[in-house]
Amino acid sequence: MEKKNIKIGLFGFGSVGQGTYQIIQENAALGAEVVRICIKDPQKERRISRENFTFRKEDILQDDSIDIVVEAISNAGEAFDIVKEALLAGKDVVTASKKMVSEHLAELLELQAQTGRIIRYEAAVCGAIPVLEVLDSYFAHEPIEELCGIVNGSTNYILSRMQDESLDYSTALRQAQALGFAEADPALDVKGWDAGNKIVITALHAFGELLRPEEVLVRGIDELPRHATRLAAAEGKRIKLVGRIRLKEGKLFASVMPEMLSAEHPLYSVEEENNRLLIYGKYSGLQQLSGKGAGALPTGTAVVSDIRALLNRRGYQYAKYKERALQSVV
């Protein structure tokens, strides 16, 4: 008997939506098909037939034949409404929206418990790098002492261009936008908020702590003095936007700050849109995860990996969060 494909409703057909669509089309063995795509702008040119699209979210959310909703739109408020409706309608969800996830983590945990459905969001942190999967699953039993990393591809790209080609900040930002690395609203990237959102999500899986975005101390690269990169270069150093979570005497400290790193530092050599996360485990010592942190196909592959996990009904374990919840009851 022929196996039935899992049906996917896709929200958004920008960088992430198109990357995801392409990978699903090229992987028939996945056993999944995109049956409807919801977008916003009726005037935009599309590279696939108009019949694939709708402008009404109900066409996906109220279609009982759709099993999985993939949310990859640029508006975090609307994204949460879509995701919430999808879970309540009995669908599993994959999302790429870090802002939405970090602002609604507690509600998303609650919605999963209430509906028995699953939401996965690997693409929301460091693009193609399986950061959440590794922290949630592989490190579920191991206390982590510190995490630090370059978790925002566009600011890293901008800093690379400023330091390698002596470009000014605005020109480097325009280049990052032209290449599709920067968020639609560049303030999210350059002010460090996007990295802060990723730090919030990472903290839940690595330390079991539900932080609010405003609890992360955030400074971006937009206020760096003009001569800062030249000053760093004169000392043989490079400036990087570094996200950090540190556990000290039972308390978590989370920050995103530009830092001047010397050549020996494991983050010194991370260039362009690449990301790297350093994990300092109690037993394993330093582990490093590196790769492409943004872009259509790298992010699309993280989405498709989540779809694959859903085909096996595999959600996140949240082991450390559940452990902390139990400790607070005892």
Ligand X SMILES: NC(=O)c1ccc[n+]([C@@H]2O[C@H](COP(=O)([O-])OP(=O)(O)OC[C@H]3O[C@@H](n4cnc5c(N)ncnc54)[C@H](OP(=O)(O)O)[C@@H]3O)[C@@H](O)[C@H]2O)c1
Q: Which stretch binds ligand X (CB under 6 A): 9-17, 170-178, 256-264, 322-330?
A: 9-17
| CA angle (180, 295, 59) in 5-degree steps | 90
User: Nearer Cβ to ligand X, position 46 or 141?
Assistant: 46
Q: Which stretch binds ligand X (CB under 6 A): 40-48, 167-175, 209-217, 256-264?
A: 40-48
* Residue whose pair of structure tokens reads 């990859």 in the numeric block: 72
Can you list the alpha helix ranges (DSSP code H) found in 97-219? 98-103, 105-115, 131-133, 153-165, 169-178, 186-190, 193-207
* Residue whose pair of structure tokens reads 């101390």 in the numeric block: 217
Other Cβ atoms within 10 Å of 228 Cβ, number:
17
> Considering the rule CB under 6 A, would residue 155 count as an interface residue with ligand X?
no
Among 40, 219, 265, 308, binds ligand X (CB under 6 A): 40
* Residue numbers 159-198 binding ligand X by CB under 6 A: 183-184
> Considering the rule CB under 6 A, would residue 75 count as an interface residue with ligand X?
yes
Tell the smallest beta-carbon distance from residue 322 to ligand X (Å). Answer: 27
Among 7, 11, 94, 147, binds ligand X (CB under 6 A): 11
> Considering the rule CB under 6 A, would residue 78 count as an interface residue with ligand X?
yes
* Residue whose pair of structure tokens reads 């009726």 in the numeric block: 42
* Residue numbers 88-147 binding ligand X by CB under 6 A: 96-98, 123-124, 127
Q: Are strands 92-95 and 119-120 parallel, antiparallel or unpaired?
A: parallel
Q: Decide: 74 and 184 in contact? Cβ < 8 Å.
A: yes
| CA angle (166, 235, 176) in 5-degree steps | 30
Q: Which stretch binds ligand X (CB under 6 A): 143-151, 213-221, 277-285, 291-299?
A: 291-299
Question: Catalytic: 240?
Answer: no
Tell the smallest beta-carbon distance from residue 43 to ligand X (Å). Answer: 9
Q: Are strands 32-38 and 285-292 parallel, antiparallel or unpaired?
A: unpaired
What three-state secondary structure class fits 323? helix
Phi and psi of 172, rounded to 5°?
-65, -40
Q: Which stretch binds ligand X (CB under 6 A): 27-35, 159-167, 202-210, 294-302?
A: 294-302
Q: Which two tokens stand for residue 325?
A: 């919840």
Phi and psi of 151, rounded to 5°?
-120, 5
Among 15, 202, 274, 301, binds ligand X (CB under 6 A): 15
| CA angle (35, 293, 295) in 5-degree steps | 45
- One-letter amino acid at 299 equals T
The catalytically annotated residue of 7, 57, 99, 198 is 198
User: Nearer Cβ to ligand X, position 72 or 245?
Assistant: 72
> Considering the rule CB under 6 A, would residue 309 count as an interface residue with ligand X?
no
User: Nearer Cβ to ligand X, position 201 or 221?
Assistant: 201
Tell the smallest beta-carbon distance from residue 9 to ligand X (Å). Answer: 11
Residues noted as catalytic: 198
Contact residues for ligand X (CB under 6 A)? Answer: 11-17, 38-41, 44, 72-75, 78, 96-98, 123-124, 127, 183-184, 294-295, 299
